[in-house]
Chains A and B, each alone.
Chain A
Amino acid sequence: MLAFLVSAIRLGMVFLFGSTGEILTEKSGHLNLGTPGVMCVGASCGCFAEYLYLKSVGPFASPVLAILVAVVATFAGAALMGLLFSFLTVTLRANQNVTGLALTTLGIGISDYMIAKAGTSFGRASKYFTASLPFADDLGWFGELFFSHGVMIYLAIIVALVCSFVLSKTRVGLNLRSVGENPATADAAGINVSRYRYVATCIGSGISGLGGLTFIMDYLNGNWEYCIDAFGWLSIALVIFTVWKPNLAILGSIIFGALYIASSYITGVSFAGKELFKMLPYIVTIIVLIITSMRNKKKNQPPESLGLPYFREER
């Protein structure tokens, strides 16, 4: 049971990064279906940078620097993808769905290519990421549950809390939300809609990218076993599940993590039946989607202009 919870948290943080980034993006009115690609590119940029760094320093790597290099490279790579998305949808006024899907195709391609170059094993780097707090072992199950995790797990929670704070408690957050809800009103209030969309999408993508890195370096212990695009789609689903709130996403992501791995921990289910269990996160998301649309409660709806372009002269 303990191992199950720890695992659920580790995997959950992948979703947490992914959906926190996507929430930020969606709050600006951008539905970025390129998130799977963004996460792939983020992860592979991080891994590639780590590979170069470790190769250059030989055996004398600094753990802090090792983590920093990967995190910065991930964020930068993913944010560049966000920039590409914003350029096409804001400046070139392309359709968001189509652009997002193309971004996913491109992202998966780029990341597969980079991984093919850098190899799929980052066990050494992973050690830095999974190193737990020194006193975790002394605290028994409590320590294992709360302090045994790698640095990315804590970073994910901090990022989600910060985003939650920024969105609900700051002027910038208020302005950003108004851009996603009603860009014409925001524009009239003197808010630069395009700039907010660009910045939110780039930062959001950067954060989503960290989810990819967490998956490889923490959850898979540095073995790039399979493509992570499915986690990108699930992160988008989690955004709906947590009704666009990063703080709720912390809990939601752990639930998603638990649902995703439930199949391997449940006994008495046939080998094949486990595959059915893996459907759970998706089915839960569909049900949440249906319920929110049926209840039609204003509070829990997507940002009103989500997916819609805004050009002042075409009002």
Chain B
Amino acid sequence: MENTKNKKSFSFHIIKREQTVWYKGLAIRAAAVLLALVVSGIVITLLTDKNPLAVYKSMWSGAFGMDIRVWSLFQDVAILLCISLAVTPAFKMKFWNIGAEGQVLIGGLATVSVMMFLGGKIPLPLLLIIMVVASILAGIIWAVLPAIFKAYWNTNETLFTLMMNYVAIQLVSYFLKVFVKTGSGVLFPMPEFGFPVLFGQPYLLNIIIVVALTIAVYIYLKYTKQGYEISVVGESQNTANYIGINVKKVVIRTLIVSGALCGIAGLLLVGGTNHTINTETAGGRGFTAIMVSWLAKFNPFFMVVTSFIIVFLQKGAQQVSTDFRLPQAISDIVTGIILFFIIGCEFFLNYKIVLSKNGKEND
């Protein structure tokens, strides 16, 4: 009933907002991002004793300074977005899949295996098709296992998917040792078996694929019957049962979609970007994607914005660390700061604080 902190004569209540007008919501979020930028700027300035403006300038140039940087920026946005899209259907159903990292990696591993063993032996178009199928299947297997156990035995999916990440990482190190006869564990890139380069831009195809996926996921969630079932299950299992939705089936089916998309992300990373794999190929994006999806309220178009902001800051911070000879880790710190500001601002979107003069009269 009351949530009062009676200190002196006044108190404040926390009231759930019934509705936030869209421009207010936008303003609160924009303020959070701005504040995060200011705080990151202050942190960097404190660490470097440089003029804050120079720091921001350096950040900007890191993201947009050169053509190649812009391409790389968009490429990174595309990959992060792709993984965010992948985890979204599951989250919308309130299934905490934090195993995107592993699902991406295993998709990548499938891709790289196909490149290793079939590359050069069959025509490139066929190879590419097999790569696509293999990566999707691998991602599905990794995602659907926890889903089956969740559906039938209510096994905790958060911890299950988390563990699957490390199983995937170890599988990758295993196959790297098997593939690379020298034992160095470093697999040389095989660009000859990768995606075709469009208009001389190596990342263009990746970006196009992700744009298409963004639209597809948006349509899937919003306009298809399956997407509708996901929303109903996520909102209320009781209602789902009442109208006769088979909840187990929906859970498993949705994780197949989720896993497939993660597999594609792995494909894009290996087939379309690195042409090789290591245990760091996913690079923590599987986790960042969860936050991107959550912060965008599961809307694929908002995710474009969120992932752009995060990648922009990471790239900018990397540039700052080069320009001012700071450790690379500064980029993770900046990401952390902005994430916390966006997570924290959710509170102000959902609640308002009402100050009342005399704290004694409540109820």
Contacts and interface: CB of A to CB of B under 8 A. Distances in A.
Question: Do chains A and B interact in one complex?
Answer: yes
Nearest to B174: A275
A311 B3 CA distance: 9
A109 B335 contact: yes
Interface in B311-363: 326-337, 339-340, 343-344, 346-347, 350-351
B156 A106 contact: no
A33 B343 contact: no
A127 interface: no
A29 B278 CA distance: 36
A116 B178 CA distance: 33
Contact of B154 (A99, A279, A293): A293
A104 B287 contact: yes
Interface stretch (B19-27, B66-74, B160-168): B160-168
A107 to B, nearest CB: 8
A104 to B, nearest CB: 7
Contacts of A282: 163-164, 166-167, 170
Nearest to B2: A313
B185 to A, nearest CB: 9
Contact of A275 (B165, B170, B294, B328): B170
B153 A290 contact: yes
A61 B162 CA distance: 42
Given A272-B177, A283-B167, A105 B343 contact: no
Contacts of A271: 177, 183
A198 to B, nearest CB: 14
Contacts of A272: 174-175, 177-178
Interface residues of A, number: 54
Nearest to A37: B336
A102 B159 contact: no
A311 B350 CA distance: 13
A293 B149 contact: yes
A286 interface: yes
Nearest to A314: B16
B1 interface: yes
A105 B163 contact: no
A92 B14 CA distance: 10
Nearest to A237: B163
A65 interface: no
Contacts of B276: none
Interface in B91-119: 96, 98
A33 B326 CA distance: 28
Contact of B327 (A113, A240, A273): A113
Given A92-B347, A109-B335, A276-B170, A101 B287 contact: yes
Contact of A95 (B175, B294, B335, B337): B294
Interface in B154-196: 154-156, 158-160, 162-167, 170-171, 173-175, 177-178, 183
Contact of B162 (A99, A112, A236): A236
B351 A93 contact: yes
B273 interface: no
Interface in A223-267: 230, 233-234, 236-237, 240
Contacts of A236: 159, 162
- Interface-central residue, B154, B175, B177, B288, by most chain A CB under 10 Å: B177
B83 interface: no
Nearest to B162: A233
Given A88-B344, A102-B340, A289 B330 contact: no
Given A105-B332, A113-B329, A286 B294 contact: no
A176 to B, nearest CB: 21
* Chain A interface, >50% SS class: helix
A2 interface: no
A94 B98 contact: no
Contacts of B334: 109
- Interface-central residue, A84, A95, A109, A234, by most chain B CB under 10 Å: A109
A286 B339 contact: no
Contact of A108 (B98, B158, B332, B339): B332
B284 interface: yes
B268 interface: no
Contacts of A108: 329, 332
19 contacts: A93-B347, A97-B96, A98-B290, A101-B290, A102-B336, A105-B335, A106-B333, A110-B332, A112-B332, A233-B165, A234-B166, A271-B177, A275-B170, A275-B171, A275-B174, A282-B170, A289-B160, A290-B155, A296-B153
Interface of A: 31, 33, 84, 88, 92-95, 97-99, 101-113, 116-117, 230, 233-234, 236-237, 240, 271-273, 275-276, 278-279, 282-283, 285-286, 289-290, 293-294, 296, 302, 307, 311-314
**Closest 5 CB pairs between A and B?**
A106-B336, A109-B332, A112-B329, A116-B327, A272-B177
Interface of B: 1-3, 16, 96, 98, 149, 153-156, 158-160, 162-167, 170-171, 173-175, 177-178, 183, 284, 287-288, 290-291, 294-295, 326-337, 339-340, 343-344, 346-347, 350-351
Given A94-B343, A312-B1, 16 more contacts: A105-B332, A105-B339, A109-B331, A109-B332, A113-B330, A116-B327, A116-B328, A272-B175, A272-B177, A275-B174, A282-B166, A283-B163, A290-B149, A290-B160, A296-B153, A313-B2
